[in-house]
């Protein structure tokens, strides 16, 4: 396995970004303060962007819940993905404005547009600073229901942003970024060091085991033309890859177990579709615990182990699974793409990627009820939990733990603090039986109405 780690060399990255051989002579310095226009960018490319001081990017392909988009948000890089024919509108050396929040790109803006965007930037600053006043408030609804608010992180460095908004709990620590842009996978010590940095400053910390595969490929396809995978999202991804490449998995599991001796750690397994996968993980963990005891290495013997509910089969069987795990977390990014058969990375089917589809709402409700019935904690860590429009709907369906990106944290808290729970449940449940999108939009408006 070691020989196939993908390393996006800077030249390759530039070549792909700029789409031509003639550009490979560019030095990294040439790209600082640049705005990148590309066909597509992988999550690994996005990580490189920050290292090289790239200001913003826009791509022709990609969806708003792709890992590339999620990473850009986490790194604070303004970005637009899935902007069709963006290449044909932008020329090299143009002055460009990238408005990531509205999905607008402007080439060669006139004076008025420049002034407008300067004003928007200062307004945004003022809004953020006003919002920071609720940092110390508890996240409590108007009628006194306590809602747990956790944060999603990709890198230990993201903790700064979490602390800035007053967050303490990590509901999703994605670990696959430890693997990107390098030849060799991280060893146990490197994993442990990354986890230690987070555990020192947050509690609990929910470390998600590797979710490589799909758009977070590590295999360099140029070296492995024979192993071309036609549908990576349905292939060896997450726990499937880990159970196949057990040495890789064991290094991470040992590090997570060791990290559990340093603070409050929970371990979460992604892409589970069958109970047998959970049982296999338990077996490996038991074996590793035995080894650690023999080596007199400390760990927490009762570290909670949970699963992500992101494959529809998991949501449908959540009543069967919940009794066997310590906690669950709903990953709507994948749950939506798999339930609606709409690739989250493909802008051409973005119009089908709909969190309000009754199938999605029913799967969410089913999972929340099953966890409650089994007395197991359940959260939501997908992008749906970050979306201001859906916070009250989710509260009405019974969600009590949100794990969100640091930049959405205070906005979600503000909505929670202004919410009256008593009227929500009957409204939210009505949404489960509505087939018309227009009617659902109307009901959502009623749910979000502030009185």
Which residues are part of the catalytic machinery?
67, 381
Residue 124 has φ and ψ, to the nearest 5°, of -60, -40
236 part of the interface to ligand PEP, by CB under 6 A:
no
> What DSSP element (H or E) covers 336?
helix 332-339
Please, are residues 152 and 382 in contact by the beta-carbon 8 Å criterion? no
Distance between CA 26 and CA 240 in Å, rounded? Answer: 39
- Give the list of residues 6+ apart from residue 63 with CB closer than 8 angstroms, or none: 69, 81, 82, 343, 344, 345, 346, 347, 350, 353
169 part of the interface to ligand PEP, by CB under 6 A:
no
Provide the total of helices (H) and of strands (E) in the chain, helices listed first.
Answer: 18, 13
Q: How far is the CB of 214 from Mg ion (least distance, A)?
A: 8
Q: How far is the CB of 171 from ligand PEP (least distance, A)?
A: 9
333 part of the interface to ligand PEP, by CB under 6 A:
yes
DSSP one-letter code for 353: -
382 part of the interface to ligand PEP, by CB under 6 A:
yes
Q: How far is the CB of 347 from Mg ion (least distance, A)?
A: 19
Which segment (240-248, 326-334, 411-419, 435-443) binds ligand PEP by CB under 6 A?
326-334
Q: Which is nearer to ligand PEP, 100 or 331 (CB)?
A: 331
Which residue in the shown chain puts its C-beta closest to Mg ion? 334
365 part of the interface to ligand PEP, by CB under 6 A:
no
- Give the list of residues 6+ apart from residue 383 with CB closer than 8 angstroms, or none: 64, 65, 70, 332, 333
Distance between CA 259 and CA 191 in Å, rounded? Answer: 9
User: Looking up tokens 């669950």, which residue turns up?
Assistant: 328
381 part of the interface to ligand PEP, by CB under 6 A:
yes
3-state secondary structure of 402: strand
- The single residue among 46, 68, 141, 332 that binds ligand PEP, judged by CB under 6 A, is 332
Please list every residue from 69 through 88 that binds ligand PEP, using CB under 6 A.
70
Site string for Mg ion, 307-346 (x = CB under 5 A): ---x--------------------x--x------------
Candidates 176, 240, 230, 179; CA nearest to 6 is: 179
- The single residue among 73, 174, 254, 357 that binds ligand PEP, judged by CB under 6 A, is 174
Please, are residues 66 and 345 in contact by the beta-carbon 8 Å criterion? yes
Please list every residue from 226 through 255 that binds Mg ion, using CB under 5 A.
none
Site string for ligand PEP, 288-317 (x = CB under 6 A): ----------------------x-------
Q: Which is nearer to ligand PEP, 288 or 315 (CB)?
A: 315
Q: Which is nearer to Mg ion, 17 or 342 (CB)?
A: 342
Size of the site for ligand PEP (CB under 6 A): 11
User: What's the alpha-carbon Rg for the chain, to the nearest Å?
Assistant: 22
Q: How far is the CB of 380 from ligand PEP (least distance, A)?
A: 8
Distance between CA 417 and CA 391 in Å, rounded? Answer: 11
Q: How far is the CB of 201 from ligand PEP (least distance, A)?
A: 22
Within 10 Å of residue 120's Cβ, how many Cβ atoms? 14
Q: How far is the CB of 417 from Mg ion (least distance, A)?
A: 29
The residues that touch ligand PEP, with contacts defined as CB under 6 A, are: 70, 172, 174, 211, 310, 331-334, 381-382
The residues that touch Mg ion, with contacts defined as CB under 5 A, are: 310, 331, 334
């Amino acid at each position: 396995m070691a020989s196939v780690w993908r390393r996006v060399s800077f030249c390759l990255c530039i070549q792909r970004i700029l789409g031509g051989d003639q550009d490979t002579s560019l030095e990294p310095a040439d790209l600082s303060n640049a705005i990148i226009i590309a066909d597509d960018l992988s999550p690994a490319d996005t990580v490189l962007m920050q290292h090289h001081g790239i200001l913003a990017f826009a791509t022709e392909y990609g969806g708003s819940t792709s890992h590339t988009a999620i990473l850009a948000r986490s790194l604070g890089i303004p970005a637009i993905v899935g902007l069709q024919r963006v290449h044909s509108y932008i020329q090299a050396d143009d002055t460009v404005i990238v408005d990531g929040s509205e999905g607008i790109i402007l080439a060669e803006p006139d004076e008025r547009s420049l002034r407008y965007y300067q004003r928007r930037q200062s307004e945004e600053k003022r809004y953020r600073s006003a919002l920071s006043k609720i940092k110390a408030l508890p996240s409590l609804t108007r009628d006194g229901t306590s809602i747990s608010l956790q944060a999603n992180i990709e890198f230990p460095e993201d903790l700064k942003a979490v602390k800035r908004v007053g967050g303490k709990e990590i509901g999703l620590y994605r670990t696959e970024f430890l693997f990107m842009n390098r030849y060799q996978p991280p060893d146990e010590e490197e994993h442990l060091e990354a986890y230690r940095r987070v555990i020192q400053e947050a509690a609990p910390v929910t470390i998600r085991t590797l979710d490589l595969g799909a758009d977070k490929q590590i295999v360099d396809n140029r070296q492995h033309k024979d192993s071309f995978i036609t549908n990576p999202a349905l292939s060896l991804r997450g726990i499937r890859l880990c159970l196949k490449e057990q040495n890789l998995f064991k290094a991470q599991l040992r590090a997570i177990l060791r990290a559990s001796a340093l603070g409050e750690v929970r371990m979460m397994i992604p892409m589970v579709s069958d109970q047998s996968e959970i049982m296999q993980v338990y077996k490996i963990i038991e074996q590793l615990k035995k080894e650690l005891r023999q080596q007199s290495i400390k760990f927490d013997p009762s570290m909670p182990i949970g699963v992500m509910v992101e494959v529809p089969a998991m949501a449908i069987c959540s009543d069967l699974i919940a009794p066997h795990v310590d906690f669950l977390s709903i990953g709507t990014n994948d749950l939506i793409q798999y339930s609606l058969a709409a690739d989250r990375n493909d802008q051409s089917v973005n119009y089908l990627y709909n969190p309000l589809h009754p199938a999605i709402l029913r799967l969410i409700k089913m999972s929340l009820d099953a966890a409650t019935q089994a007395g197991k904690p359940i959260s939501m860590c997908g992008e749906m939990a970050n979306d201001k429009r859906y916070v009250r709907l989710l509260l009405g369906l019974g969600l009590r733990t949100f794990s969100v990106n640091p930049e959405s944290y205070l906005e979600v808290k503000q909505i929670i603090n202004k919410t009256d729970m008593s009227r929500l449940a009957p409204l939210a449940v009505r949404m489960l039986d509505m087939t018309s999108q227009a009617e659902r939009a109307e009901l959502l408006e009623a749910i979000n109405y502030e009185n």
